[in-house]
A and B are shown apart, each in its own frame.
Chain A
């Protein structure tokens, strides 16, 4: 919908509404005036009718008095009284008073009749003398005709009985019509406005739903694509390690390192894109719980130690206490690893420092580097997607610029406060404020890593992807393991039958590695459980999956097996296997 045109419509409707309101107001004012005018002229009519009656009586009395010989009266007095009555007739029969009076049925006729009769007695008045013989005639006319007629007129025009009939409708017709029209107009405009509003709300809602749908579709596509991409990545990583073990020589060492590095970069990029798409689609579920900070940081240190060493950077960790914080372990891991990765990537020399400061309620995790720093203007945009600063020269490794955006959004999601202090040329420091957890989570103690040998261990690998299965076989064989592969439940149970016999006395040297999704009605956990039951010993097992949904991962974890995400680096796999053996 065109926003501008709809805005214009609203403005138009508003202007019309104001115009109509003004018309209504003026019509109302006019109506009030018309009503007042009507009332006034009607009152005039009534008063003058009374006056006519009054003056008629006064005239009658004067005439009587004069004829009967009152010495204080002259013919002129009587004449004046007669003339005054005549003028009263005039008032009623002309101008506005007559206009009003003419609306009352019968009154104009009665008035005219009365007036002509009144004119008939004029000669008697002109020639009136005391004691003349016309008294009876004149008196009869006045007493029995004129007074009756005038009384009738007074009665007819009296306020109350004929108030509205005396042309009220006509006198206020225009203004009442105008009021009706303007009220109708206002109602129409209101209806139009409401219609417009409903239409717009619907359109907006539709657009929102559409946007939401496409967002979800996009995120789903990304998730599926990511899942599918992880499989070949996993396979190539494992295959490469195997190849390296078999064919490594001083001359091709750097080549292998390069390929490893590239695969890791692809994996990181993939993870970044997946995280952003999940954040976009609000598909990320947050599992907040008490998380021990120390193991998480140690893990981070382990992961980035190699990278730092190759760049001759000092990577330090100042973590004086064993603290528990309230957060989502997986997501926090992503935050820290993104920040660390950035720090190492952009720092050319000096150190990257990871430090923990504890406060009353919170724990501040700081990642400080001696990199190029970020200017004030850039600090405002650096958390946007696809932003890479010009002054930064990442060592031939170009990312998508998603790292800080993910960090920012994850921090918002977890409601961890993220602050940035940076001076251009001196380095940057990112602080994450984490809430302290009250009750530490019951967790397996993180035992010191021991260089256990894997040789002689029998590993059952269950995986439906033939490429990965082969690569596992090859890799584990280089570590001296005896590998039994299975891609279905049947194969796994067959293997279990054999193992029950061969390892009856040494079930401790058994391990199971299984993929979670097996394109069957059962999953990795089901197979592992079956095998464990058949052997009659709880053989340590690890589940590998490309699943990235934290909720699903948690569900798998709840089955009691160790869960690892694809793609799994050979080193991680080795450590995991060692740890499993030790726990058993």
Chain B
């Protein structure tokens, strides 16, 4: 009986080992304050079932400038942030829906296609300064408004989420 249990435990360990080590390889654990938590149907994690990011980790994914107007500001704005495409690559998401929450309890559903194809960017900086809660930060999902933007205004207004904290991949 005891022998039997031992064999079972051993085989279970061998089975789980490759999976656990694969996760640990790609995403490191956050060292600073967590700004973004991604949960749900993701490939790469750094904690059981979730991926957490601090500012350093996000910046490591590659900051890109984005100059655009928005419907909630006056004049052209200089944003800097991680392209949605890069973020989705980091957690291994290719399609589906994102259930996004904000600090002010705002919720919205966003298709992954917005991030992959419609250039939605997770902005960290505005006008060279880090976004804070008071300035719709620390993370703001910004859609560039230009001639190439195919999304409708009403789609953009409901999906441009500021004070973003969690993304749940459905």
Residues of A whose CB lies within 8 Å of any CB of B are: 37, 40, 44, 51, 55, 79-80, 82-84, 86-88, 90-91, 94-97
Contacts and interface: CB of A to CB of B under 8 A. Distances in A.
Given A55-B104, A80-B103, A87 B73 contact: no
A82 B104 CA distance: 11
A86 B134 contact: yes
B153 interface: yes
A94 B72 CA distance: 6
B14 interface: no
B132 A96 contact: no
Given A40-B154, A40-B157, A84 B163 contact: yes
A86 B103 CA distance: 13
B133 A95 contact: no
A87 B135 contact: yes
A136 B72 CA distance: 35
Given A84-B103, A91-B136, 17 more contacts: A40-B157, A44-B157, A51-B104, A55-B104, A79-B133, A80-B103, A83-B133, A83-B134, A84-B163, A86-B134, A88-B104, A90-B72, A90-B136, A95-B73, A96-B71, A96-B72, A97-B72
B107 to A, nearest CB: 13
A456 B153 CA distance: 123
A474 B70 CA distance: 123
B143 interface: no
A91 to B, nearest CB: 6
Contact of B163 (A87, A96, A97): A87
B71 A83 contact: no
A87 B71 contact: no
Q: How large is the interface on B (under 10, 10 to 19, 20 to 34, 35 or more residues)?
A: 10 to 19
Nearest to A51: B104
Nearest to B74: A94
A88 B104 CA distance: 10
Contacts of A55: 104
Contacts of A40: 153-154, 157
B136 A87 contact: yes
Given A80-B133, A87-B163, A95 B72 contact: yes
Contacts of B53: none
Contacts of A96: 71-72
| Secondary structure dominating the interface of B | loop
Contacts of A83: 132-134
B157 A95 contact: no
B79 interface: no
28 contacts: A51-B104, A55-B104, A79-B133, A80-B103, A80-B133, A82-B134, A83-B133, A83-B134, A84-B103, A84-B163, A86-B133, A86-B134, A87-B104, A87-B133, A87-B134, A87-B136, A87-B162, A87-B163, A88-B104, A90-B72, A90-B134, A90-B135, A91-B72, A94-B74, A95-B72, A95-B73, A96-B72, A97-B72
Interface of B: 70-74, 103-104, 132-136, 153-154, 157, 162-163
Nearest to A87: B136
Contacts of B134: 82-83, 86-87, 90
A170 to B, nearest CB: 18
A89 to B, nearest CB: 9
Contacts of B135: 87, 90
Contacts, number: 45
A90 B135 CA distance: 8
A84 B133 contact: yes
| Secondary structure dominating the interface of A | helix
Contact of A37 (B72, B133, B153): B153
Contacts of A86: 133-134
B100 to A, nearest CB: 16
**Can you list the 8 inter-chain pairs with the closest CB atoms, starting with the nearest?**
A83-B133, A83-B134, A95-B72, A86-B134, A96-B71, A87-B136, A80-B133, A95-B71
Nearest to A44: B157
A87 B162 CA distance: 10
A245 B153 CA distance: 117
Contacts of B162: 87
A80 B135 CA distance: 11
Contacts of B73: 94-95
Contacts of A37: 153
A437 to B, nearest CB: 85
Contacts of B103: 80, 84
A95 B136 contact: no
Contacts of A97: 72
Nearest to B33: A76
A80 B153 CA distance: 29
A97 B71 CA distance: 8
A555 B70 CA distance: 101
Contacts of B136: 87, 90-91
Interface centre among B132, B134, B135 (most CB of A within 10 A): B134
A86 B133 CA distance: 9
A91 B135 CA distance: 10
A87 to B, nearest CB: 5
A14 B103 CA distance: 61
A37 B71 CA distance: 12
A86 B104 CA distance: 12
B163 to A, nearest CB: 7
B151 to A, nearest CB: 15
A37 B103 CA distance: 27
A95 to B, nearest CB: 4
Contacts of A82: 134
Nearest to A79: B133
A481 to B, nearest CB: 115
Contacts of B133: 79-80, 83-84, 86-87
Contacts of B72: 90-91, 94-97
Interface centre among A80, A82, A84, A86 (most CB of B within 10 A): A84
A88 B162 CA distance: 11
A88 B73 CA distance: 12
Contact of A95 (B70, B132, B154, B163): B70
Interface centre among B73, B74, B104, B162 (most CB of A within 10 A): B104
Nearest to B162: A87
A515 B63 CA distance: 126
Contacts of B132: 83
Contacts of A90: 72, 134-136
